[in-house]
C-alpha cells in the first residue's frame, strides 16, 4: 500500500501582510509533515529530505530577514526564498510522490488529500530516478548553447552525443532545459530516460530502474550485468513507435564501458552523455563554454540578491568578484549566495583576502568538495594530478608554453626530453577539462618532435583550485611554493630572521610593476624549478639563486610591455646542476661572459628576446663555456639579423631551432662546424634567402625544416651529402621554383618531404630513385575544417 501526499500551495489574500511572516508558514509545514508521518505510519526516511529542506529554508529566512526585497510575480519577496520554495516543492515531490502547485513568494497553506493505491512498494523511487528534473527557475546564458546542442542532437547521423565541460559549468542544467524544449518533447514524447551515472555506476540497478520507470517487468529475474544488458533492448524496442533519448548524466572517466553497453541497434535511438571528461571516442561532441561577462554578472547579481538600480555594493567590487568566478555558473551562484545580505564592508574584506592569497573555496564550504572531485585520480595516474598542480606556477590567464612544461617535467618526473610523455599528460588534462592544450597545426612528420609553438591555457577557477591544493601544507613543507609580491609587500615569513629552509621542489615568484627589486635571502636548498614572472624594466635575479645548488630549470618571464634587462646574470654561473634556461622578453648582453663553464647546461630557449651580442663578446670560447649544451631555441627574436658566428663554436649542439625571426637574412658559413647537429629548424624566417653550402658537412642531420621561409629560391647544390637526412620540410617555400640539385638523388635515407602541391612536382622525376621517399603535399591555400 503506497500513500501519496498531495501538498497544494495556495495564495492567500493580503499577500503583503502574509509575507511578513514566512517563518510561521514553514513551522506549520514542518509540524504538518510530522503529523502526517505519525498518522499514516510512514517511515521517517520518506519525509526526511522534505524536513531538511524546510529547515534549510528557515535558515535562509533568518539570513534574508535583513536583506532588501525585490518585486516579482506581482508581489514582493526575496529571490533566494523563491528558489528555496522551488527546492521544497521538488523535495516533497521526490520524497512523497507529491503533486504540488504553488504561487511563488506567498505564504503556504496546505490541504491534504490522501490517496491509497494498490502498487508495488518499490515503484516510486525508480520513477523519480529516471525522470528528467525540471531546470532551475532562473537560468541565464544557455539559450544559444541549447539551440546548438538541440540542432546537433536532432541530426540523423548523430546517435551518440557528448556534452562536456569542467565541473560547475551547468551541463545538467542545460540537459534539463533541453528536455523542456517543445521540439524535443514532441519528437521523443515520453521516451526520454534520464540516468544519473555518478562515479561508481551499477549497471544492474540502472536497468532495473529503467524497467520500473516504463512499467515493464523483465522476462526473467535480473541476476547480473549481462542479464541486464541482454533484456534492456527488448524493453526499449517495445516502449512505443516514438524515438528514444537515453541521457547518461555525469559519466566519470573509467565508466566509458557504459557507452558500448547501452549502444543498441534500435531505430531512432539516441544517447546523450554529460561528463566533465572529453572522451576522445565520441565522434560528435559539444563543448559547453563558460558564461560571458554580461551573463555572469546577471547570474551573480541574482544569486547575491542585488538589483542594478539600488545596489549598495560598489560596482567595481562586484566586477572584480565576477571576473574571479571565471564564468562558472556554480561558482557564481555559490559565491553570490555566500555574500547575500552581507554589508559592503564584508564584500570588500573578502576581496582583500582573495587578492592576498586566500581563495574562493575558503568562503563556501560546498564549492571546494564539488570541484575537488575532478582531482580524484587512480594510483597509476597520480602524476597527472601533479602536472595539474604545476600549472599554478604561472600567471593567471597566461598562455603557458608547452616547452616550459616539457622542461619542468623532464627534470621533475624524469620524462623524456623530446616531450612525448609531457604532451600526453597535457592531452589527458585536456580530456578531463582541467586545462586546454592548443596545438598548432602539425605536419605528420612533426607530431612526435616539435612542440615549441604549442601552449596551454587554464580557467582562473581551475588555477585557483591548483593553488588551493598546493597551499594546504605548512609553508616550509610544500612541494610547490607560489608567491605573488606587490611592491614592497614581502611575505611576513620571508622577513623573519630565523627563517626555516624551504623544502619546495618548485618555487614560483611573481612580482608586479611596482616591485623595487629588494630580495630577502631565503634558503631554498631543494628547489629544482624556479619560475620568475615580473613586469619591471630592470630586474635583478634573487640573490638566493646563487646558492640554489639543486636548481635544474630556470624560467624567467617578463610580462611587461618593454624588454627588460637582467644585470646580475652571472649568479647563474655558479650553479652546478642547472640544465635548462628559458628567457622571455629579456635583453641579453652575453651568455658566455664567464670564466667558469656551465657544465650541466643542456638547453637554452630565448623567446621574444633582444639577443644583441649574446653569443659574441665572450671571454671564453662557447664550446668551453657551454660544453654540454645540446639544444638552442630562438623564437620571435626580432633583432636577430645575422646568426652570430660565436654560436658555431658550440660543436656539441644537436638541435638548433630558429623560428619566426623575420629579419634574419643570412646564416654563417661556419654553421658547417656544428658536426653533431641532428635537427636544424629555420621556420618562418621570411627574409632568409638561402642556406649556406657549408651545411653539406652536417652528416648527422636527420631533420631539416625550412618551412615558410618565403625568400628561399633554391636548395644548396651539395644537399645530397646530408647522408642521414630523413625529413625535409619545405612547406610554404613559395619562391622555391628552381629544379632540385642533381645531388638530391643521393639522399638515400630521405623518408618524408613536406611541401605544397607545386613543390611536390619538383620531386616527381626522382621518386623512383629514392625508394623510401613519401611526399606529403598540401594545397597552397588554407583549408577550412567543417567537422563538428
> What is the per-residue pLDDT across 739-783, written as a single tens digit (0 to 9) for each?
899 999 999 999 999 999 889 999 988 888 998 999 988 876 544
- Per-residue pLDDT tens for 299-349? 888 888 776 544 567 788 888 888 878 788 888 887 787 778 777 787 877
pTM score, whole prediction: 0.66
- Per-residue pLDDT tens for 621-677? 666 778 889 999 999 998 888 887 778 888 899 999 999 999 999 898 889 999 999
- Cell numbers at residue 37, please? 508521518
What's the CA gap between 153 and 245, in Å, rounded? 10
Instruction: Please list, in sequence order, all residues whose beta carbon lies within 8 angstroms of the beta carbon of residue 349, skipping any fewer than 6 positions away.
Output: none
What's the CA gap between 7 and 594, in Å, rounded? 85
What's the CA gap between 9 and 6, in Å, rounded? 10
Instruction: Please list, in sequence order, all residues whose beta carbon lies within 8 angstroms of the beta carbon of residue 628, skipping any fewer than 6 positions away.
Output: 599, 600, 601, 602, 652
- Cell numbers at residue 164, please? 562536456
**pLDDT value for 604:** 93
- Percent residues over pLDDT 90 in the chain: 29
**pLDDT value for 441:** 61
What residue segments make up the domains of the chain, in order of their start?
2-119, 129-287, 293-369, 377-461, 473-587
pLDDT band at 350 (very low <50, low <70, confident <90, very high): confident
**pLDDT value for 72:** 32
Say whether pLDDT at 577 is over 80.
yes
- Per-residue pLDDT tens for 140-161? 999 999 999 999 999 999 999 9
Say whether pLDDT at 785 is over 70.
no
What's the CA gap between 284 and 656, in Å, rounded? 40
In 282-420, beta strands by DSSP E: 285-287, 400-401
CATH of domain 129-287: 3.40.50.300
**pLDDT value for 51:** 57
Beta strand 436-438 with 455-457 is antiparallel
Grouping H, G, I as helix, E, B as strand and the rest as coil, residue 63 is: helix
The secondary element (H helix, E strand) that includes residue 510 is strand 506-511
- Per-residue pLDDT tens for 48-68? 555 565 555 555 545 544 443
Say whether pLDDT at 424 is over 60.
yes
Domains 293-369 and 377-461 share a fold: no
More confident residue, 43 or 558: 558
**pLDDT value for 34:** 57
Number of continuous H segments (helices) and E segments (strands) in the chain: 23, 27
Say whether pLDDT at 89 is over 80.
no
**pLDDT value for 542:** 87
**pLDDT value for 257:** 84
What's the CA gap between 477 and 469, in Å, rounded? 13
pLDDT band at 77 (very low <50, low <70, confident <90, very high): very low
Beta strand 655-659 with 631-635 is parallel
Asked if residues 121 and 272 have their Cβ atoms less than 8 Å apart, the reply is no
The secondary element (H helix, E strand) that includes residue 269 is strand 269-275
Fold for 377-461, please state it.
Arc Repressor Mutant, subunit A (1.10.10)
What's the CA gap between 506 and 69, in Å, rounded? 50
Mean pLDDT is highest, among 176-190, 537-551, 608-622, 721-735, for: 721-735
Lowest pLDDT segment from 3-17, 20-34, 579-593, 685-699 = 3-17
- Return the exposure string of 361-380: e unless at least 16 CB atoms fall within 10 Å of the residue's CB, then b: bebbeebbeebeebbebeee
Nearest 5°: CA angle at 73, between 70 and 77? 35
Is the four-CA dihedral 325, 328, 334, 340 of positive or negative sign? Answer: positive
Mean pLDDT is highest, among 225-229, 296-300, 630-634, for: 630-634
Domain 293-369 is in which class? mainly alpha
What's the CA gap between 457 and 429, in Å, rounded? 11
**pLDDT value for 137:** 85
Nearest to 456 by CA among 404, 534, 382: 404
Mean pLDDT is highest, among 37-46, 118-127, 196-205, 417-426, for: 417-426
Instruction: Please list, in sequence order, all residues whose beta carbon lies within 8 angstroms of the beta carbon of residue 170, skipping any fewer than 6 positions away.
Output: 139, 142, 288, 329, 330
What's the CA gap between 526 and 397, in Å, rounded? 28
Amino acid at each position: 500500500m503506497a500513500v501519496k501526499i498531495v501538498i497544494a500551495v495556495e495564495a492567500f489574500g493580503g499577500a503583503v501582510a502574509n509575507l511578513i511572516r514566512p517563518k510561521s508558514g514553514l513551522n506549520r509545514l514542518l509540524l504538518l509533515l510530522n503529523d502526517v508521518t505519525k498518522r499514516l505510519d510512514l517511515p521517517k526516511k520518506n519525509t526526511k529530505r522534505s524536513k531538511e529542506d524546510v529547515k534549510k529554508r528557515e535558515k535562509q529566512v533568518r539570513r534574508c530577514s535583513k536583506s532588501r526585497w525585490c518585486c516579482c510575480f506581482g508581489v514582493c519577496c526575496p529571490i533566494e526564498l523563491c528558489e528555496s520554495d522551488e527546492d521544497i516543492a521538488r523535495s516533497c515531490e521526490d520524497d512523497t510522490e507529491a503533486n504540488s502547485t504553488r504561487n511563488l513568494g506567498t505564504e503556504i497553506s496546505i490541504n491534504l488529500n490522501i490517496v491509497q493505491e494498490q502498487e508495488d512498494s518499490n515503484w516510486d523511487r525508480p520513477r523519480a530516478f529516471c525522470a528528467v528534473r525540471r531546470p532551475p527557475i532562473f537560468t541565464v546564458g544557455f539559450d544559444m548553447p541549447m539551440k546548438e546542442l538541440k540542432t546537433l542532437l536532432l541530426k540523423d547521423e548523430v546517435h551518440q552525443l557528448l556534452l562536456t565541460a569542467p565541473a560547475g559549468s551547468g551541463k545538467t542544467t542545460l540537459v534539463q532545459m533541453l528536455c523542456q524544449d517543445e521540439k524535443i518533447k514532441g519528437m521523443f514524447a515520453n521516451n526520454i530516460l534520464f540516468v544519473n551515472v555518478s562515479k561508481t555506476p551499477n549497471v544492474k540497478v540502472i536497468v532495473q530502474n529503467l524497467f520500473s520507470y516504463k512499467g515493464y517487468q523483465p522476462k526473467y529475474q535480473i541476476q547480473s550485468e549481462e542479464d541486464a544488458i541482454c533484456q534492456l533492448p527488448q524493453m526499449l524496442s517495445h516502449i512505443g513507435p516514438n524515438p528514444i533519448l537515453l541521457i547518461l548524466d555525469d559519466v566519470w572517466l573509467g565508466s566509458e564501458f557504459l557507452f558500448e553497453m547501452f549502444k543498441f541497434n534500435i531505430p531512432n535511438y539516441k544517447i546523450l552523455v554529460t561528463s566533465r571528461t572529453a572522451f576522445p571516442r565520441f565522434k560528435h561532441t559539444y563543448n559547453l563554454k563558460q558564461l560571458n561577462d554580461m551573463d555572469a554578472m546577471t547570474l551573480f547579481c541574482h544569486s547575491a540578491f542585488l538589483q542594478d538600480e539600488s545596489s549598495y555594493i560598489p560596482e567595481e567590487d562586484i566586477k572584480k568578484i565576477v571576473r574571479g568566478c571565471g564564468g562558472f555558473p556554480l561558482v557564481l551562484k555559490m559565491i553570490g549566495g555566500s555574500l547575500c545580505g552581507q554589508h559592503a564592508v564584508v564584500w570588500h574584506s573578502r576581496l582583500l583576502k582573495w587578492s592576498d592569497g586566500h581563495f574562493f573555496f575558503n568562503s563556501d564550504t560546498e564549492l571546494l568538495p564539488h570541484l575537488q572531485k575532478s582531482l580524484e585520480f587512480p594510483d597509476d595516474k597520480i602524476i597527472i594530478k601533479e602536472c595539474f598542480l604545476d600549472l599554478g606556477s604561472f600567471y593567471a590567464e597566461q598562455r603557458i608554453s608547452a616547452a616550459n612544461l616539457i622542461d619542468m617535467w623532464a627534470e621533475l618526473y624524469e620524462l623524456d626530453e623530446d616531450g612525448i610523455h609531457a604532451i600526453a599528460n597535457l592531452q589527458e588534462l585536456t580530456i578531463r577539462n582541467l586545462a586546454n592544450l592548443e596545438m598548432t597545426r602539425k605536419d605528420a612528420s612533426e607530431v612526435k618532435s616539435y612542440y615549441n609553438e604549442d601552449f596551454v591555457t587554464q580557467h582562473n577557477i581551475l588555477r585557483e583550485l591548483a593553488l588551493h591544493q598546493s597551499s594546504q601544507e605548512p609553508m616550509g613543507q610544500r612541494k610547490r611554493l607560489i608567491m605573488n609580491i606587490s611592491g614592497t609587500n614581502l611575505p611576513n615569513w620571508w622577513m623573519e630572521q630565523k627563517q626555516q629552509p624551504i623544502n619546495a621542489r618548485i618555487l614560483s615568484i611573481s612580482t608586479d610593476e611596482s616591485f623595487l627589486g629588494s630580495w630577502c635571502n631565503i634558503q631554498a636548498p631543494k628547489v629544482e624549478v624556479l619560475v620568475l614572472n615580473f613586469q619591471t624594466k630592470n630586474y635583478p635575479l634573487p640573490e638566493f639563486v646563487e646558492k640554489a645548488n639543486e636548481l635544474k630549470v630556470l624560467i624567467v618571464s617578463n610580462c611587461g610591455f618593454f624588454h627588460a634587462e637582467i644585470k646580475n646574470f652571472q649568479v647563474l654561473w655558479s650553479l652546478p646542476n642547472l640544465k635548462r634556461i628559458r628567457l622571455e622578453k629579456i635583453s641579453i648582453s652575453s651568455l658566455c661572459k664567464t670564466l667558469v663553464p656551465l657544465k650541466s647546461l643542456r638547453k637554452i630557449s630565448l623567446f621574444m628576446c633582444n639577443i644583441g651580442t649574446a653569443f659574441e663578446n665572450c671571454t671564453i670560447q662557447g664550446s668551453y663555456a657551454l660544453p654540454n649544451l645540446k639544444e638552442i631555441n630562438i623564437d620571435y627574436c626580432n633583432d636577430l639579423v645575422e646568426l652570430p658566428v660565436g654560436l658555431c663554436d658550440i660543436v656539441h649542439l644537436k638541435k638548433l631551432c630558429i623560428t619566426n625571426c623575420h629579419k634574419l637574412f643570412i646564416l654563417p658559413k661556419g654553421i658547417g662546424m656544428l658536426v653533431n647537429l641532428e635537427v636544424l629548424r629555420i621556420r618562418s624566417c621570411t627574409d632568409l634567402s638561402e642556406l649556406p653550402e657549408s651545411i653539406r658537412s652536417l652528416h648527422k642531420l636527420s631533420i631539416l625544416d625550412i618551412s615558410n621561409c618565403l625568400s628561399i629560391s633554391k636548395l644548396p647544390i651539395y644537399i645530397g651529402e646530408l647522408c642521414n637526412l630523413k625529413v625535409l620540410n619545405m612547406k610554404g617555400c613559395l619562391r622555391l621554383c628552381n629544379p632540385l640539385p642533381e645531388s638530391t638523388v643521393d639522399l638515400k635515407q630521405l623518408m618524408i618531404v613536406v611541401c605544397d602541391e607545386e613543390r611536390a612536382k619538383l620531386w616527381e622525376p626522382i621518386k623512383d630513385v629514392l625508394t623510401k621517399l613519401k611526399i606529403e603535399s598540401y594545397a597552397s591555400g588554407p583549408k577550412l575544417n567543417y567537422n563538428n
